[in-house]
Chains A and B, each alone.
Chain A
Amino acid sequence: MRADTVHLADTVRPADTVHPAALIEARNLSRSFGSRRRRIWAVDEVSFQVPEGDILCLVGESGCGKTTTGKVVAGLLKPSEGEVLFEGQNIWEMDRKAFKRYRTAVQLIHQDPYASLNPMQRVYDIITAPLFRHSLVSGRAHAWQRCIELFHIVGLTPPEDLLRKHPHELSGGQRQRVSVARALTVNPSFIVADEAVSMVDVSIRVSLLRMLGRLREAFGLTFLFITHDLALAKYFAWEGRIVVMYVGSLVEVADTPRLVSDPLHPYTQALLSAVPEADPELTRNKERIPLRSQDIPSLLNLPTGCRFHPRCPRFVEGLCDVERPELLPTGDGRQVACHVVARERGMA
């Protein structure tokens, strides 16, 4: 098994060994919503680590809990169970000072640049509010200068003109750059980008992603990149890892090159085979993995055992519908939660 992955050795990370340098760690995170009578678990026992300077990409379909996970990791939602560790410290047990430091170190970039910028404020006010709030500048002249710096970093030119505008005067791509500039005001070390380029036109998506990539290199930023788009995940997180989420839990974790070329979990395999590609011959000749059912399970009425079993082409009766598979190390640096794969690969 190891032999065929040798050529990827330089990108393989031992995901199943504990990373001492994990900047952010989610440990058995769960988050529920609703009343006592009708309660759903949007995120159910999710664990992962993001080492400093790394990219972790969280991929899943709508309603799988990826946004909730992002919010919990960013400290915007309190987990119902489990812990979020920042530099090894549980963020909900931090003292005020440490918590404040964490809150500025972690910044969220939202999906919708039309909703996340206050339409009543000028761009200048949007950018400078956090600068003044956290006393990061010493007066107006300094604030202006910092804005111009930030705008150069995120590729917004000419900054002088754009700073005087209101969000509605900007294009979608420009707005998203403003969101990024705002996130950078407080010198964060960790960025949670939730579908950050999904609402931007195809032709300018790539330049946004590149800008984010450059930030990572220039400032050593760590990324949690949340998306439903596997092709985007592959492009952005090529040097990082992808985590695949299905109905609240993680099903597979692997370095990006192996996740897209050699997926282990039947759900990941189904997703990859279902993605249409912008190449007629490639997309029409792709091998299809037929599912047993088209229905996405309701969080109010979850299947027993493995949550994917009613749809899974590799379903084994008496096993998959009985016991919920754990996310286990595969022995070659990946993790997968599947009874069938575990059996095949002799995973403990």
Chain B
Amino acid sequence: MDNLVVEKLPWSKGNAEDALLSVRDMYIEYQAERGQVKAVRGVSFDIFPGENLSLIGESGCGKTTLGLGLIRLLVKTATIKQGKIIYRRDGMAQDVLAMEQDELRHFRWQDCAMVFQSALSAFNPVLRIREQMYETVKAHRPTPRSEVYDISRQLLARVQLEPDRVLRSYPHELSGGMRQRVLIAMSLLLNPPIIILDEPTTALDILTQRTIIDLLRALQNELGFAMMFISHDLSLAAELADHVATMYAGRIVECGTVNQTFYEPRHPYTLGLIKAVPTVTGGFEDLTSIAGTPPDLIDLPTGCKFHVRCPFATDRCERQEPDLVHIGPEHAAACFYWSEVERQADVAWDQIKAARGESV
């Protein structure tokens, strides 16, 4: 039983026992020809019921690996080296990493569904949508076809599709936005308390993306599921998140509420991202990019993995990797100099606001 108890994260908004999913000290590595790819290094977080946790970071920061790791869908070359994933439903705690194949199959989709970036490859190309929806339900609980179709129709209507037409279709007959919506409907089939969405709108057009974002928010309000939203796009996190975790080189380097992350960033990387992203609204904002390039996960720098690109870095950062530490209510950052970042963040926001003001 002790295996199911996890320590409280000081910056977490509640007790671990109230969380749906608690992840502690996860390490995931890939075996590549050149060596070990350290994709996830010591990640801990909680997801609470009905909450949206957005995971942001650039390509190769380990965010997709982490998402797949949570439902143990990793490729064969990847191994979870260490860590704990505890899932709780109706007062029952389960150790996801200890689940047998059978339990795992139930856990996936029924407890934790995942919506992938590439909606086309998530479908079986030779089966009609209604078949795929039926199979999904059948794999978990035997249900008569007509009942599955009824639920499917309701869900498809909810994601603003024509249910009958879509049920008859093959995946290739639908547009990208429609496929993504079907996938969202499918993820809801078994009414899971958690949905992991990995870049669900990245390949979509702006107007289609807007539809999906609004839809996700409405569905979440209505059905109350928790979301883990994985994206490289800061603006999507700004739009949807309650809490944001910033990932860099396999680690969560900052974790806070959405307003803390954007308005009071305390990690130089989060601040750097904010200063690098243009907005459409307002006058001309001068942007600054982060120096250097994202790290090679096989050959990571010493100490803080961001130090080679960081304007705040000192000798200490080169030698020692800072832990994620509690710096305020629901806020944690992995930087020795977070209080200096605080000052810079205030300056940056003053500049952004001034630039926007000009055009008003």
Contacts and interface: CB of A to CB of B under 8 A. Distances in A.
A274 B259 CA distance: 21
Interface string A83-100: 000000000000000000
A283 B284 contact: no
B234 A278 contact: yes
A276 B290 CA distance: 22
Interface string B138-181: 00000000000000000000001000000000000001010000
B258 A280 contact: yes
A162 B171 CA distance: 44
Contact of B205 (A260, A281, A296): A296
B180 to A, nearest CB: 12
Nearest to A62: B205
A276 B160 contact: no
Contact of A201 (B160, B209, B232): B232
A272 interface: yes
A278 B238 contact: yes
Contacts of A319: none
Interface string A268-290: 00111011111111111010100
B235 A276 contact: yes
A57 interface: no
A271 B207 contact: yes
B283 A257 contact: yes
A201 B238 contact: no
B43 interface: no
Contact of A274 (B210, B273, B290): B210
A286 B281 contact: yes
Contacts of B359: 257, 261
A245 interface: no
A261 B358 CA distance: 12
Interface string B270-287: 001110111111011101
B288 interface: yes
Interface in B184-236: 205-211, 213-214, 232-236
B205 A203 contact: no
A324 interface: no
B314 interface: no
B208 A294 contact: yes
B32 to A, nearest CB: 14
B3 interface: no
Nearest to B205: A61
Contact of B207 (A260, A279, A294): A294
A141 to B, nearest CB: 31
Contacts of A284: 238-239
A78 interface: no
Contacts of A270: 207
Range class of the B interface residue count: 35 or more
A201 B279 contact: no
Most chain B CB neighbours (cut-off 10 Å) among A62, A271, A282, A296: A282
B278 A228 contact: no
B82 interface: no
Interface of A is mostly: helix
Interface in A231-288: 231-232, 234-235, 238, 257, 260-261, 270-272, 274-284, 286, 288
Given A171-B293, A203-B273, A282 B58 contact: no
Contacts of A281: 259
Nearest to B203: A62
A270 B293 CA distance: 35
A202 interface: yes
A173 B276 CA distance: 15
Nearest to B234: A278
A296 B211 CA distance: 13
A202 B293 contact: no
A276 B231 CA distance: 13
B289 A204 contact: yes
B27 interface: no
A286 B282 CA distance: 12
A202 B58 contact: yes
9 contacts: A201-B58, A203-B272, A207-B289, A230-B280, A276-B233, A277-B279, A278-B274, A280-B239, A284-B238
Interface of B: 58-59, 160, 175, 177, 205-211, 213-214, 232-236, 238-239, 241, 258-259, 262-263, 272-274, 276-281, 283-285, 287-290, 293-294, 309, 359
Given A277-B235, A280-B241, 4 more contacts: A206-B289, A235-B278, A275-B280, A276-B238
